[in-house]
Structure 1
């Protein structure tokens, strides 16, 4: 009996295979004039029977799917991702989540480690404090338990200061736990390094490779958002920082804090705010060297970026914080004689750049809108190694100069390698250190006045000129005077001629 059943099954399978071949042929040849309908009906029934056998056979071989596994508790079993809700943090922002988030940070700090980064900095192995897209109310700064750790990320959510958050604190505070958070004390001691921090970490730096990413930080007009003290290779990426009263981001000492793809504003506005005159605070305060700000928008603050450390670079920065006409500044370079700053491909929108005693300052390929200008401010009378080239200036025809001097504390006396040139201007007054002019006259003296063009008063360090005359006799001529930025050329006899002059102020007076 079993043999007959097996034979029957073999016949059925053979017919099924035949059906496949015939069906393909039938699909390729549509016209079967006499028996087509009856033939196709039989083939369809045989195909259905074959499919039922195949489904039955597959069902006997497939085992039930395993039940989904529940992930282990965060921070256990070697995991380096610490979800703050598993510590009791409230993602709705209704209750205080400070202690829960600090516990997650503490577990990450004390979790699995992978040797060291720079000497004295423990490698936390890429541990993550995951905010899970929630909004968390914070009543005190979030700090690591102690200095001396690195390779940690905090990301993916919103932190909001509560109404009792300290007014001199920062939502995320990357300073050693023993350091003071007083903004006034930081300003007075900006170049000092806390000895207790160094001893606690065993390193000259507090932290290394800390990443703050994909965060919204609302300081609720009570202090600042991020403080980075004496740390190495810190990354602040894709952050939206608002409602600060002191600094949005403060970087003090250390090296290589990179701030990128972020938005900062004391008040949430898109320009033309009726309260703009009252904007206060500083969006980014760089009190150290070797930092970079790239692709960042600063939409409200009294000062966009305050810089008091050398060797920093800014690219793709758009400042439309408090307008210069209201007393605001876009970028303030407050390091007389040691600027060493590069500002490129940026957009100063109604707000200006101020540089005290600029030395090795480069500003290029940037756009200045709404009478925004560059102010060089004399503190000790030094301007050395300054390039302001290839920028665009657009104003309102009010006679505002694109580059200005503030010599209220004394004139610039040490001027060397200063180039202000190749800037294009519309609705503002051009200023430069290089000028070209000409004059046609019938006489023995030609004066070409550059006083309305040249940046520095009474300073021409180099002159080239040529005299073209149609007289049959060739007159003797010479450069006679360059005072008050006026070039005077005289000849020994009257001639009908034209003088062409090029001057430069870039050298030392």
Structure 2
């Protein structure tokens, strides 16, 4: 074994020595006295030179501090040194945040967009093959929104660093803006934008597809928002921390299937208990499109955690503790009367609640409501269809708050169908449901059960079941006499001692 190792070491030393010898000769082949300009010997030299180069890492990172190259001298990465990875520092970006890096970021993105493509995603959207714009763990100050210079592109990732807005960043802008840019930021950017536009020739009805924003911290510096996604499809926002926004942390408008995962959003960086949180403003996430998903996201400060005005969105594992209004801010607001189609599951509403306008096909389950947080069904046109509020936990401070409340300031709910509020466990709050059970014991000919303290909707009982058990061997005739005002009246033809068990249901379909 030792002999074998010794032989391998000797062979390796000989090869390295030969490579060094060849380098000496190659260094002279460009000099006036060079005798080797071609032929088999020259080819052998080239092969040995390539062999020696294979022992050297070309992408090694120096540990010594260095000054970023100026934008004028920065050269874009070559395919050999960094295949499809466009490093912002190579374009003159300042990773310390001391200088404006807007142009460097835009040039890196422009080169990525104009790089080689491999077929199409949706019709009219070019597949950039997974090209990456790498922020290299830097902190970059920007004075304008970072936009893609062309529509009709996809399969691109921007990742790995921090962007923070400068003091002159536009108040209505977003740090990363996936929308059509009305203006350009520089002459060079305008030229690259025109080239990219010519290359794209998109016929898709969507601007972008499969753009990934990952491992980013976005600091809006109280000037505008974090991320805007407009009319795009299959966008991924993963492991992002978005803070100091004044409009929206994330805005999704139009398009389909934007997935927001494993992220943290807050207007102010706090872990609760902030004396100013009653005055927090802004919206952490605004979903103005369809078929999106928010999964495992924390919203720690904002006036509204998630505003939904699009259809068929899924929220799972969301933790809202944005205590914006009297320590009871709105966690989720569903502002799409009559077209809700929203599922909220496995979430945590920490001193914040849910408001749903005219809910239609709304499902809320397996969630925890802490600190007197509750659900409000708000009447706009008085519609509530296909609502399930089931299997949740509510915990409060015995202040008399009901777990589900009706806001009928615009008029009563009058079109109610398939609404189920049931199987919720409650501590320190008042239980409300659409299914109620009770019993009455006594002697007489009339038994009355009042369900107003439990039933959600006023004066609405659609179905009643009861049983009467008389003592003393009596078998009176009995009947359901009245169900008005959420009160059930059972009557017998004789005075008897009996127990009456009653179930009242508001949620049975018409």
TM-score range for the pair, normalised by the shorter chain length: 0.7 to 0.9
> 2: CA distance between counterparts of 1:397 and 1:337?
33
Matched, 1:375 2:363: no
> 1: CA distance between counterparts of 2:156 and 2:258?
15
In structure 2, relative to structure 1, the CA distance for the partners of 1:179 and 1:396 (3 Å cut) is farther
For residues 12-411 of structure 1, the aligned pairs below 5 Å read 55=6, 58-59=9-10, 62=13, 63-64=15-16, 66=52, 68-71=56-59, 75-77=77-79, 79-178=83-182, 201-326=202-327, 328-411=329-412
> 2: CA distance between counterparts of 1:375 and 1:60?
79
Number of the residue aligned with 1:477: 478
Do the aligned residues in 1 keep the contact of 2:298 with 2:318 (CA within 8 Å)? yes
Q: TM-score, normalised to structure 2's length?
A: 0.84
CA RMSD of aligned residues (A): 2.1
Do the aligned residues in 1 keep the contact of 2:148 with 2:178 (CA within 8 Å)? yes
SS of corresponding position for 1:325: coil
Displacement, 1:419? 0.3
Displacement, 1:54? 7.8
SS of corresponding position for 1:201: coil
> 2: CA distance between counterparts of 1:301 and 1:373?
18
Displacement, 1:472? 2.9
> 1: CA distance between counterparts of 2:138 and 2:8?
49
Do the aligned residues in 2 keep the contact of 1:324 with 1:352 (CA within 8 Å)? no
Displacement, 1:200? 6.6
In structure 2, relative to structure 1, the CA distance for the partners of 1:250 and 1:200 (3 Å cut) is farther
Displacement, 1:449? 1.0
SS of corresponding position for 1:484: helix
Do the aligned residues in 2 keep the contact of 1:468 with 1:497 (CA within 8 Å)? yes
Number of the residue aligned with 2:448: 447
In structure 2, relative to structure 1, the CA distance for the partners of 1:266 and 1:76 (3 Å cut) is same
Do the aligned residues in 1 keep the contact of 2:329 with 2:351 (CA within 8 Å)? no
SS of corresponding position for 2:446: strand
Q: TM-score, normalised to structure 1's length?
A: 0.84
Do the aligned residues in 2 keep the contact of 1:147 with 1:177 (CA within 8 Å)? no
> 2: CA distance between counterparts of 1:280 and 1:258?
24
Q: Which runs of 5+ in 2 are unaligned?
A: 20-51, 61-74, 185-196
Displacement, 1:473? 3.2
- Cα-to-partner distance string for 1:435-457 (whole Å, 9 max, x where unaligned): 11000010000001111000000
Do the aligned residues in 1 keep the contact of 2:328 with 2:353 (CA within 8 Å)? no
- Structure of greater Rg: 1
SS of corresponding position for 1:100: helix
Number of the residue aligned with 1:40: none
Number of the residue aligned with 1:187: none
Do the aligned residues in 1 keep the contact of 2:209 with 2:234 (CA within 8 Å)? yes
> 2: CA distance between counterparts of 1:486 and 1:212?
56
> 2: CA distance between counterparts of 1:53 and 1:82?
44
